Structure 1
Amino acid sequence: MTALDPAAAPGLPEAASRRSPLAAGALSRWRAPASVAALALLPLVLPSQALAVNVLIYGLYATGYNLLYGYTGLLSFGHAAFFGTGAYATGIAIGAFGLHPLAAMALGIVLAGLLALAIGALSIRSRGIYFAMVTLALAQLVYYAALQASCWTGGENGLRGFTVARIGLGPVGLDILDPATKYAFVLACVAAALAAMSRILASPFGAVIEAIRENEARARACGFDVERTKLLAFVLSGLFCGLAGALSALHLSIVPLDSLAYPLSGTAVVMTLVGGAGTFFGPFLGALAVLVLEDSLSLWTSHWQLALGVVFILFVLFLPRGLGGAALALGRLAWRR
């Protein structure tokens, strides 16, 4: 029996095996294109292009976190480390070494993945709240390392002094100072990431991580290498968050130290839960809800975080499946009728 072959273990939890082949095939085939089509409409409905870009970036960040928490069942409080690493590595590569923006982004993604491998290897054997605390502690080490390495990171002032005005793609150049072009570029990156995420979730590996989420002991008894699978999920999650950080660096042309701070890890948790943990498009719904609330409430009060906290508590109490889960439940109910 191979470690990632769900067909070899008829005892897998029901959630990993109950989907009908027709429904699962249709869902995996269309969920990424449908999500991209919906995201393409954001500039038409949001008050600013910058807000629409932020929804894409933080939705992708929450999507990476959702792979670990929503699909694998591991609560991490350290994902800001991967977002910040992707952002800092991209900015330093462009500003200090003059790398092509796409090469700098690739470097940021790789370094975020390597950091995820290191943190995951140290924390993955912990369970429950202990796992969450270990990831938080290790992420704080990364934060303070960046704070001390001020010659590279800018310390408390963050990384500045790099601006990408144009991305050359052979004979074609993209003027990403133009808001519409920037949005199209970020959307293309998000579309590629969503296609990869959809493929991951539709693979045998995707079934195994859901089996681990539902019943880790049973998955282990069926012969799966649980630790290796969780570590791979952790690394993949870090890669997606690193891409989000790299896009944030290009978008803002600065990398604040807060990109590595623990409140940003909490932001991933909030966006995932509000949008719907374990749903494909839920993280983008959560990012949209949180960022629009932040944008609106900050005009009325400087204590907008308090109001956002109240909204989060209400979601946990009365809508635990989030916006995405509620939408799926309503869709199933309408289909039955």
Structure 2
Amino acid sequence: MSPLDVLRSVPPLGAVLVLAAAAAALLIDAPYVHELLILAVVYAQFAASWDLLCGPTGLDNFGHAVFIGGAGYGSALLGRHLGLDPLFSVPLAAVAAGTLGALLGSLTLRLRGPYFSLATIAVAAMGYKLSFILSRYTGGEEGLSGLRPFTSSVGADLLVCLALLSLSCLAMQAFMRSRLGLVLRASSHHEDAVMASGYDTAAYKILAFTLSGTLAGLGGAMYGHTQMQVNPDLLSGGLSVMIVLLATVGGRGRPFGPALAAALLILLSEGLRVFEQYRAVIFTGLLILLVYLHPEGLAGSAWVRRRSARRHLAAPRQAGEGRP
């Protein structure tokens, strides 16, 4: 697939939201608004990276926070003890998270059904516990604070996060539409037939796990340097479950769907702070309603499918009109 084809697959709403957030960073002098948008962008990165593995394969990873928190702490420690700038510590932490993904993938992806999910929960629980056991390095319950931001202003940090998210989503979209993504999707339906065709499905899944961990780690490091602190919540089971919910509402197997849904729902959650007493009830009820109305996710809803079908039908027609 050519880069132009990948760009054409970007949902118009996604492009509009990214441009709107960039305009807000450049034109609006409101650090609070910038902070909210950064939070939305970071959660979009979390949800999209989860979907890279779990969307095409149909697996359920309930331990995604181990990559997020691991990279967040890793980048913080690299900056604190080695004095590395985020320009270097963030990529290194993301690569370390990807390496962890490859290791966990090789150990857990041979499990099927609920056993894989249980294994990921156990790994995440171990990571959360280690953040307290190794409190000498991780700061225990207080975590690590005073992290160096990407830039000197919140608005510029927002632009950095938007650029990283956009590149990540484009890379994930290219991966999904490549032969690698096709093999993963096929293996979720009939893995034995795919293996009989000569494909090592385990190797493909490990690669997807590695990429998913890398991009999740990138999101965790982004969170740490934009919030200037990391704590055990980044490794908690609650965060992993939230990511699964956001990605499911967005639509599995469609990188832009989970990213857009996560960004919009996180902004909605922050907006519900005016009803703080009922915030959790309202937000949870809304998630349940969306899952009930759109079991295949918002990106897989009938309205979106019809628009996508019209776009695909219009493309050959336009190409034919240009012929002599």
TM-score by length of 1: 0.83
Distance of 2:94 and 2:236 partners within structure 1: 18
Conservation of the 8 A alpha-carbon contact between 1:66 and 1:283: yes
- List aligned pairs for 1:1-337, cutoff 5 A: 27-31=5-9, 35-36=14-15, 38-42=17-21, 48-164=33-149, 176-326=151-301, 327-332=303-308
**Amino acid paired to 2:49:** G
- 1:224 deviates by 1.4
Say if 1:60 and 1:241, in contact at 8 Å, map to a contact too. yes
Distance in 2 (CA, whole Å) between partners of 1:117 and 1:101 is: 24
Structure 1 position 226, deviation (Å): 1.4
Tell me how far apart the structure 1 counterparts of residues 24 and 81 of structure 2 sit (CA, whole Å).
Answer: 38
TM-score normalised by length of structure 2: 0.86
Q: Residue 171 of structure 1 corresponds to which residue in structure 2? A: none
**CA contact 2:90–2:221 (8 Å) conserved in 1:** yes
Q: Which amino acid aligns with 1:156?
A: E
Alignment CA distance shift 1:323-1:33 (3 Å): closer
| Residue identity opposite 1:30 in structure 2 | R
| More off after superposition, 261-270 vs 294-303 | 294-303
Higher percent of residues as helix: 2
How far is the alpha carbon of 1:322 from its aligned partner? 1.8
Give the letter for the 1:129 counterpart.
P
Q: What is the alpha-carbon root mean square deviation over aligned residues?
A: 2.4
Determine the C-alpha separation between the residues in 2 that align with 1:209 and 1:300.
43
Deviation at residue 243 of structure 1 after TM alignment: 0.4
SS of residue in 2 equivalent to 1:301: helix
Q: Percent identity?
A: 30
User: Which amino acid in the other structure matches residue 267 of structure 2?
Assistant: V
1:81 partner letter: V
Find the aligned partners of 1:312 and 1:150 in 2 and give their Cα distance.
35
Aligned equivalents of 1:110, 1:253: Cα separation in 2: 21
Counterpart-to-counterpart distance in 1, 2:264 and 2:170? 23
Amino acid of the residue matched to residue 40 of structure 1? Answer: L
Does the residue aligned with 1:278 lie in a helix, a strand or coil?
Answer: coil
Report the 3-state secondary structure (helix = DSSP H, G, I; strand = E; otherwise coil) of the residue aligned with 2:182: helix
Task: Give ranges in structure 2 of 5+ residues lacking alignment.
Answer: 26-31, 315-324
In structure 2, C-alpha distance between the alignment counterparts of 1:248 and 1:183, rounded to whole Å: 11
Aligned pairs, number:
305
* Range with bigger deviation, 271-280 or 25-34: 25-34
CA distance in structure 1 between the partners assigned to 2:134 and 2:105 by the alignment: 23
Q: Output the CA distance in 1 between the equivalents of 2:187 and 2:108.
A: 17
Deviation at 1:234, TM superposition (A): 1.0
- Distance in 2 between the 1:280 and 1:77 partners? 18
CA change 1:325–1:73 in 2 (3 A) is: same
CA shift at 1:202, angstroms?
Answer: 2.9
Deviations 1:147-205 (A, max 9, x none): 111111111111113233xx5xxxxxxxx232321111112222222232233223211
- Change over 3 Å in CA distance of 1:153–1:275 after alignment to 2: same
Contact persistence 1:31–1:280 (CA under 8 A): no
Displacement of 1:74 after TM fit?
Answer: 1.1
Q: Supply the distance in 2 between the matched residues of 1:43 and 1:75 (Cα, whole angstroms).
A: 33
Structure-2 separation of matches of 1:146 and 1:112: 16
Out of 227-236 and 324-333, give the one that drifted further.
324-333
Quick one: distance in 1 between partners of 2:211 and 2:244?
A: 17
